[in-house]
Each structure stands twice: as structure tokens, then as C-alpha cells.
Amino acid sequence: MFPKTFQKLIDQFSALPSVGPKMAERLVLYLFKQNTDTTKQFARDLHEFATNVHYCSRCYNISEEEGECSICRDKKRDKKTICVVEEPLDIIAFEKTRRFLGLYHVLGGNLSVMSAEEIKKLKINQLVQRVKDEEIEEVIVATNPTTDGETTSLYLGRILRPLNAKVTRIARGLPTGGDIEYADEMTLLGALDGRREI
């Protein structure tokens, strides 16, 4: 129905989460209607994004530079405390509170929702290695307050406890089934302050 190049882009957009084929068609038509400069800039930005954005080699946050992200490289941060989160967007939520001054570790998901293959991709072994190598004193487990997040938290508690680090879980107060990414700052502050050992 559409020219081949047009269709190719529709297919790309349809493959994105929450974008159906109809929406993809509308988006591509929108891009087509923009003046050429805007669309070309969009393509350049996408190329730059694919080339220049990496995972931090230490905490798996999103990083503009190869190697460590800006948080890991910040000399003022407390390098003995790690806050474990499911996704990089959770880091942004914690950073907004300005209360947490340690480092992070992004798991890349949680334990229950994924296939065995995907679970292997979670950065759990890397976390264990960091706790050992970086002589971490406290690991704050800040997985989401969902059933899967709690399962992950219990599992992390079990494997981290023998490593001489204090392992704490952020307090409830976050609505069960909620998502840290969307929690307001006051709630997150309360959850951090009220954390307990697991």
C-alpha cells in the first residue's frame, strides 16, 4: 500500500511498545509532513543516540560516555552504599529527592516476569561482584513494591547477606503494585528513610 521506504519506517514504529500499526502509520505520515530539515535532524539524533548512548560499565545506568556514568564518576558520592533499582528511570526518581548520595546498580528488570533466558541477563552476578570488589557497606534494595519486585528483593537479600554488607529494603509507604519511576519525591524520601534490614 505504501512506498517501500515509508512502509519500512511504519514497521519500525509498530515494533515499539504501545505503538499499534495505525498509530505507526500516523507517526510516519507526521514525519513525512514535517519539513525535510526537521526529519533529517530527527534521523541524525537517532543515529547519534544509537552510537553514543551506552550502559555505564559499573552500574548499568544510561551513560553518554563509554565507561562510567556521571554518577559513578562523581567524587562527592558515597562509594560504599549502593541502591539497587530495576530500571535506569528509577535512578532519576531517586536523584530528584537529592537525599541519596551513594551509587546505584541497575538490574535491568526483576526476577519473576521474565523467561529464564532474560533472567540470566539481569545484572545480579555483577552486583555480587561489586559488593565484594568495592567493599560495599550497605546495599539498599529499591526494586518496585510489586510481587515481582518483592520476590527479587528477597532473593537479593539471600545472596548478599553472606557478603558482610548490610542489606536493607526501602520502606513500604509506596503503594503496593506501584512503580518507583512514578512515585512522588516525599513518598520516596519516606521509603528511603524508613528502610529496614532484610
The site for Zn ion (CB under 5 A) is made up of: 56, 58-59, 61, 69, 72
Q: 180 near 188, Cβ under 8 Å?
A: yes
Residue with Cβ nearer Zn ion (102 or 145): 102
In whole angstroms, how close is the CB of 106 to Zn ion at the nearest point? 8
Residue with Cβ nearer Zn ion (58 or 169): 58
Q: 40 near 30, Cβ under 8 Å?
A: no
In whole angstroms, how close is the CB of 73 to Zn ion at the nearest point? 8
Cβ-based neighbours of 163, under 8 Å, separated by 6 or more: 128, 131, 132
In whole angstroms, how close is the CB of 124 to Zn ion at the nearest point? 17
Q: Which three cell numbers stand for residue 21?
A: 500499526
Residue with Cβ nearer Zn ion (61 or 143): 61
- What is the total residue count of the chain? 198
In whole angstroms, how close is the CB of 62 to Zn ion at the nearest point? 9
In the bound complex, which residue of the shown chain has the CB atom lying closest to Zn ion? 56
Three-state DSSP class for residue 62? strand
Residue with Cβ nearer Zn ion (77 or 166): 77
User: How many Å from the N-terminal Cα to the C-terminal Cα in the chain?
Assistant: 58
